[in-house]
Structures are given as structure tokens and as C-alpha cells.
Amino acid sequence: MQTIGIIGGGQLGLMIAEQARLLGVRTAVLDPAADAPAFAVADERIVAAYDDAAALEELCRRSDAVTYEFENVPGDVLIPLAERYRIPQGYKPLYDSQDRLREKENARRHGFRTPEFAPVDDRASLRAALEWIGYPAVLKTRTLGYDGHGQQVLRSEADFEAACRLLAVPCILEQFVPFDYETSVVVVADRNEAVSFPMGRNVHRDGILDLCFVPAAIEPALERRIRRTAEAFMRSAGYEGILAIELFVRGDAFYFNEMAPRPHNSGHYTIEGTTTNQFRELVRYLTGEKLRQPELVAPTVMKNILGQDLEAAERIAAEGHENVFVHLYGKTESRPKRKMGHITFVGMTADGYAAQWADRFVR
């Protein structure tokens, strides 16, 4: 029996471990919190910080292959380990995604269009960047931003001073894309082939993913182009394993926004909505099994459950609806904007969701 090691024991680690178990694969999980969600199903638990070199080495020693759900694992710890143990995705996709400037340059180099962007370090360079990018624009910190944290939209000169507050750390200014909608594509690739998951429409609220509607109602030709570009990007950039790419779509043009070399929130619907899911294909990749191409089972809607919707989700779970799959991550502390779970509605369209379910949740 093989064991896969997972750096990070949040909901992504939990769902990787759940799918591993279904494939007869053991898991060892490292997380700093003793009550991390993935510890509930992991076969082995290591409570330690992400930069604890000895603990990470112990995780590697106990595992046949190691992956990560936590994006900010430091390279000076991971690189030496990757030389001695099987961490098949390696550090490179993490490195390329840990800085928004490097990430966008890399995306362009390997075949994606991105919004225009420029590095910004102080008021003078922000001024210069605004002169050629123009309003509206988005200023983002280059590192450690997530779910809309560390960014500011500049609609006009009136927003300049407020934006300058971000400039304590290196930033990037991006052209604001007036997109029709946001989508994302999840690709899993091994040395021989790549599979990608059907794409959904992502709807955010307060910078956090709220809903994902699948299929995305994209022109089939456009979806094929995006999926092919993403698969080719992985090959060209030399990545293996899992990669999620967030995109803006405007007309028949698409723009790379950001990527993550781990399962993605917009792919949670795949657990029940497609014939195989993002977590399972990652496990297959890690254990050297042949990858399977996912197919959509039926139109599907995924609703994220943040703290404010936890009680509603528990009630829906207790009601026991057919084709409604309630995933609660077992986090011990619930807070309003914390991701506590998600619900997948299989055989559900956007209109059906609006009519039957939307008013069960906080608006």
C-alpha cells in the first residue's frame, strides 16, 4: 500500500485524503494546527510548522510521494527535500506562483494572454504605471495575497492616495479587465498525458468564491481553446501534477489571472459532478496510475459555505435531499468569512438554483 504525504491539512488536504482512501492509498498529513480538518481522515499526523525542516523531512520519510495544499511552503526547505525524496511536482510551480509579477511573466512566456501589468514599488513607479495602463486598474501586493486581500481597485485619481497604503511592500499594477465572467480550469498532467476538467462560471463575493455554475455556458470552441492552452502551458512550463488556472473571459478573449499548483475551490464540484474528480486524479498522478479523463455527469452548481451559512448548510444536510451533497470540513471555529464547507447540487442549473436554493443562504 502506498502512502502519500500532504503538506497542509485544511479542506484541500482533507479531500485529497478522502479520495486517497477510496483508492486504497494511505495519507500522512503535516499541519501546524492539531485540529486541522485533514487529520480526521489521515492515517498519520504530524503537527508542525510549514518551515520546520525536520518535521517536513519526517513527512517525506513516511511517504512514497509528497504533495502540498499550502502554497507558501518556503523554497529553502522544499528544494533540498525534493532532491532526496519524491515530491514529483517539485518547487518550480510553487515558486512561479508565489509572486504575482513572476507568475504573469511566466504565463505570457508559455502561451497565455494576461492583463497589462507593471511592477510598482513606490509612488513614482505607481504614477508611471498608471500613465500607460490608465484607469481603472488594480494594485496588488506581489506576494501573500489571497481571496481579494492585499489589493485595491483604482477607478480614478481619487483612489490614488488610498492605494499608496499598499506600497509598504512590492506591488504590481494591473489593467482592470471588464470581463464578462470569471472561470477556471484544472489540469492534471503526468509525463505522458494531461486531463482537464469541465469549466464553470465562478461568481465571487467580497473577493471569495461564492458559486460555481457548470457548464460555464462558454462557446464549446472557446472552452476547447482554453483547455488546450492550459494543457500546453503546463507542458511548456515543465510542470506535472495538478494546476488550477483562474481566467477572465471577455468576448472570445481570455486572460490568465492567477494559478495554483493544488486542487482548487472551483473544482470541488468535480467530486460528484464529473466522472472522476480533481483530488482523485491528483492521487492517481502521485501513485503513478494512469490518469482518467473526466466527463460532466449533469449540470452542477457548487455553493461555498462560509461561516455565516453554516447553520443553513447543516439544515440542508439534515433534510437529506437527493443529488445534494453537503461537505462540512469539520473546522472547530466558525467565522463569517471562513470557508466551512461547500454544497454540490448535481442536475441543477443556474436558474434552478436561483429559484430553489439561493434564498436559503445569507445574501
| Dihedral sign (CA 197, 218, 265, 261) | positive
Q: Which stretch binds ligand AMP (CB under 6 A): 17-25, 176-184, 236-244, 342-350?
A: 176-184
The one among 24, 75, 134, 148 contacting ligand AMP by CB under 6 A: 148
- Nearest distance in Å: CB 339, ligand AMP: 15
- Beta-strand (E) ranges in the chain? 3-7, 26-31, 44-47, 65-68, 117-120, 137-141, 151-154, 171-175, 181-189, 194-196, 200-205, 208-214, 241-250, 253-260, 300-306, 324-328, 339-346
- The reply to whether 182 sits near ligand AMP by the rule CB under 6 A is yes
> Number of residues in contact with ligand AMP, rule: CB under 6 A?
14
Kindly tell me which of 182 and 309 has the beta carbon lying closer to ligand AMP: 182
Cell numbers given for 262: 493544488
- Nearest distance in Å: CB 195, ligand AMP: 24
The one among 16, 177, 187, 305 contacting ligand AMP by CB under 6 A: 177
Q: Which residues of 307-339 are buried (b: 16+ CB within 10 A; e: fewer)?
A: bebbebbeebbeeeeeebbbbbbbbeeeeeeeb
The one among 39, 70, 91, 176 contacting ligand AMP by CB under 6 A: 176
- The reply to whether 115 sits near ligand AMP by the rule CB under 6 A is yes
Contact 312/360 with Cβ under 8 angstroms? Answer: yes
- Nearest distance in Å: CB 194, ligand AMP: 23
- Scan residues 220-259 and list those touching ligand AMP (CB under 6 A): 246, 257-258
- The reply to whether 99 sits near ligand AMP by the rule CB under 6 A is no
Binding site for ligand AMP (CB under 6 A): 115, 138, 145, 148, 174-177, 182, 204, 207, 246, 257-258
